[in-house]
């Protein structure tokens, strides 16, 4: 399925983090559903926030912080859309999971680097992974 313009880099992160380890969606889930969820989530957050939240929900899952998902299990963007962990939206909790553990940029407010699971030997800045996509 071809993805709408602008969604490709975020779907690449979905495949990298949520569909791990093989990059294929969970059984019975079509990636087109995640494309539609990305469009809906874009009304709530910026693309940079969504990129961080995708990584954050994976971190939460791998730590065992999600009662409904075993560590290492495949996830979908449904985990971030209209769901809550306690009283807080899961999207906000996932963002916190990244921001609390990531190195800070000079201003001390945003993640500076995200390790690439594609090439774990050389961490790359998030901006390099997403290219000019975030410049829009």
Kindly give the confidence (pLDDT) of every residue in the chain, 136 residues in length, as a single tens digit, with 9 standing for 90 and above.
454 558 899 999 999 999 999 999 999 999 999 999 999 999 999 999 999 999 999 999 999 999 899 999 999 999 998 888 888 899 999 999 988 866 554 444 444 343 333 344 445 565 666 665 555 5
- What is the pTM for the complete model shown? 0.71
Distance separating alpha carbons of residues 80 and 54, to the nearest angstrom: 8
User: Following DSSP, what letter does each residue of the chain receive, concatenated?
Assistant: -PPPTTTHHHHHHIIIIISTTTTPPPTT--HHHHHHHHHHHTTTS-HHHHHHHHHHHHHHHHHT--TTS-TT----GGGTSS-EETTEEHHHHHHHHHHTTSPB-TTSSSB--B--SSSTTS-B-HHHHHGGGGG-
Give the angle subtended at the CA of 47 by the CAs of 79 and 38, to the nearest 5°: 40
pLDDT at 111: 43
pLDDT at 25: 96
Residue 62: CB atoms within 10 Å: 17
């Amino acid at each position: 399925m071809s993805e709408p313009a602008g969604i490709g880099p975020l779907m690449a992160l979905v495949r990298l983090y949520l569909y791990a380890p093989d990059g294929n969606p969970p059984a019975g889930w079509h990636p087109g559903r995640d494309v539609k969820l990305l469009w809906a989530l874009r009304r709530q957050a910026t693309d940079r926030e969504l990129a961080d939240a995708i990584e954050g929900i994976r971190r939460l899952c791998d730590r065992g912080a999600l009662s409904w998902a075993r560590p290492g299990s495949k996830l979908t963007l449904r985990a971030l859309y209209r769901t809550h962990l306690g009283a807080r939206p899961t999207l906000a909790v996932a963002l916190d999971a990244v921001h609390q553990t990531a190195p800070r940029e000079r201003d001390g407010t945003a993640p500076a680097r995200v390790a690439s699971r594609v090439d774990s030997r050389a961490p790359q800045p998030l901006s390099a992974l997403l290219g000019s996509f975030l410049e829009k």
